[in-house]
Structure 1
Amino acid sequence: MPKTIVHSPLVAKPVNPHSQATMAGNHFYTATVATDVNGKPVGIGDIRAQTRQALQNLSHLLAAAGGSLDDVARVMIYLTDMRHFAGMNEVYAEFFKGDSLPSRATVTGSMGMPELLVEFDVIAYIER
């Protein structure tokens, strides 16, 4: 199964040693946060704005791989504080709805950038 790197010019280039996303066969892997195309955090202190930005980044990466949000199979959500759950969930429901909801889990943890409140670790299956 060949591995390929996925890149979108609409998402910030990583500053750490990792790719924006990876395809291994038809399996897509990524983790997204609320940064703009220049890598600057957006929506500081606003879980809804950060969730929206992180999920828009996810959408851009899926599109670059030939997929969409409907292809997402699993989402691991990391929140810095569980008090952000309701706001995150409200925006999450704008992106994921209908009959193709992925499985998911939500846990708390710290982020690499202290301004970030949420991170999405995503696995998708994209038919090619």
Structure 2
Amino acid sequence: MPKQVIIPPGSGVPLAPYVPGTLADGVVYVSGTLPFDKDNNVVHVGDPAAQTRHVLETIKGVIEAAGGTMSDVTFNSIFITDWANYAAINQVYAEYFPGDKPARFCIQCGLVKPDALVEIATIAHIGKAA
């Protein structure tokens, strides 16, 4: 099946050559999502919970634009800059996945902009081919 590029309304221009999401064979692949506004400025500087909420809302927009919901998420790759933010990030994360949780991993690393505290990449199976 051919792939379909997913760009929700209001998306900014990416910093690098990628798109917010791709749908192929009923699977949505959401690019690594940072707490950026449409001009690629970091939002909620210093607040890991607010940044996580912003990232997950952005991911939700990509999945919904592809025809899915957050309950379709099967895997998340989470990148954080400091383990001290882990609890705050998890608290917000749990709000978006209240039932059965998706599989995931979480690592500490540097991110593309120093004020960004969290980045999440997602896979969702929406059961709908492109």
TM normalised by structure 1 equals: 0.93
The gaps in structure 1 that reach 5 residues or longer are none
Count of residue correspondences: 127
Supply the distance in 1 between the matched residues of 2:88 and 2:96 (Cα, whole angstroms): 13
Which digits, 9 at most, give the CA deviation of each residue in 1:4-58, with x for residues without a partner? 1100123323121011111122111112111123322111111011000000000
1:67 and 1:37 mapped to 2: Cα distance? Answer: 22
State the Cα distance separating 1:94 from its structure 2 match.
1.1
Root mean square deviation of aligned Cα: 1.1
Q: Distance in 2 between matches of 1:11 and 1:54?
A: 13
Residue in 2 that maps onto 1:4: 4
Superposed displacement of residue 127, structure 1: 1.5
Matches for 1:16-27 after TM superposition, within 5 Å: 16-27=16-27
The answer to whether residue 72 in structure 2 is matched with residue 79 in structure 1 is no
What's the % identity of the aligned pairs? 36
1:85-100 equivalent positions in 2, closer than 5 A: 85-99=86-100
Higher relative contact order (CA 8 A, sep 6+): 2
User: What CA distance in whole angstroms lies between the structure 2 residues aligned with 1:12 and 1:86?
Assistant: 29
Letter in 2 for 1:58: I
TM-score, structure 2 as length reference: 0.92
Matched to 2:60, the amino acid is S
Q: In structure 2, how many angstroms separate the alpha carbons of the residues matched to 1:10 and 1:92?
A: 23
Unpaired segments ≥5 residues, structure 2: none
Deviations 1:47-98 (A, max 9, x none): 0110000000001111110011001000011001111100000111111111
Distance of 1:114 and 1:56 partners within structure 2: 21
Asked whether the 8 Å contact 1:10–1:60 carries over to 2, the reply is: no
User: Does the Cα contact within 8 Å between 1:26 and 1:127 map onto a contact in 2?
Assistant: yes
Which residue of structure 1 lines up, in the alignment, with residue 44 of structure 2? Answer: 43
SS at match of 1:98: coil
Deviates more, 1:26-35 or 1:81-90: 26-35
1:28 equivalent in structure 2:
28
Q: The residue matched to 2:110 in structure 1 has which SS?
A: coil
